[in-house]
Amino acid sequence: MKTKGRLVVISGPSGVGKGTVIRRLLGECENLRLSVSATTRAPRNEDTEGVTYFFKTVDEFRSMIDGSEFLEWAVYNGNYYGTPCAAVEENLESGLNVILEIDVQGALEVMKKRPDAVYIFIAPPDRETLMKRLVGRGTETEEQIKKRCAAAAAELEQQDKYDYVVVNDVLDDAVEEIKSIIEGKNVK
Ligand code: ADP
Ligand code: 5GP
């Protein structure tokens, strides 16, 4: 019988480097897949339908909720975000490890349903660095940045609920640390 893959939940404030770290992990770990979430937020330049997100209207998203298609869903900054369960289960069954990159509210939901998953919070070295990265990315309006910073403060307070807190200071170190957690060298 095939061994099931491991479910890995990654959260952290906007701009901390989750996307950057996860891109590296996906490039370096052959048996790792990223769950593609559905969202009602508008696509950014770097977004590709079906690759970074499945972009949905509010009505479409609500009908997915009604159809119990999500492992979890949450409202972040006025937009819906959710993890479609089918692809996650298929990949886990076929022995692949699966990353969910979701906000803290969503992760708390998954903790109730999947205590077997590994929960990793990516933290910034300090708040000033976080702000610099968020502004430096240049994808958000000033208004959006303010909202994301407010959300970040609340998210940082919840980091103790995770199995691991990885500080993304030097990118290579953060990637290596998460790789050893996923590969089970550092099992909870
Ligand atoms: P998130 O997905 O958490 O919102 P991103 O991956 O988009 O964050 O990263 C935000 C910005 O910070 C990007 O411009 C990225 O290049 C930069 N960044 C990510 N990790 C590091 C790091 N360890 N050191 C310096 N800059 C980083
Ligand atoms: P962004 O708009 O920057 O892509 O994502 C905003 C926030 O939504 C991030 O904290 C990200 O982790 C979170 N997010 C992305 N997909 C999901 C999801 O499917 N569910 C939940 N709960 N949060 C998500």
Please state the pTM of the whole predicted model.
0.94
Domain coordinates of the chain in residue numbers?
Answer: 7-182
Q: What is the pLDDT of residue 1?
A: 67
Within the chain, what is the greatest distance between any pair of CA atoms?
52
Q: Which atom of ligand 1 is nearest to the CA of 13?
A: 3
3-state secondary structure (DSSP) of residue 78: coil
Length of the chain: 188
- Protein residue whose Cα sits closest to atom 21 of ligand 2: 102
Flag whether pLDDT at 188 surpasses 80: no
Is residue 130 exposed (0-12), middle (13-18) or buried (19+ Cβ within 10 Å)? Answer: buried
Ligand nearest to the CA of 64: 2
Q: How confident is the model at residue 187 (pLDDT cuts 50, 70, 90)?
A: very low
Domain 7-182 -> CATH class: alpha beta
Flag whether pLDDT at 43 surpasses 50: yes
Flag whether pLDDT at 186 surpasses 70: no
Tell me the pLDDT tens digit for each residue of 63-118: 999 999 999 999 998 999 999 999 999 999 999 999 999 999 999 999 999 999 99
* Contact call for residues 111 and 104 (beta carbons, < 8 A): no
Taking CA 7 as the corner, what is the angle to CA 16 and CA 15, rounded to the nearest 5 degrees?
10
Ligand nearest to the CA of 171: 1
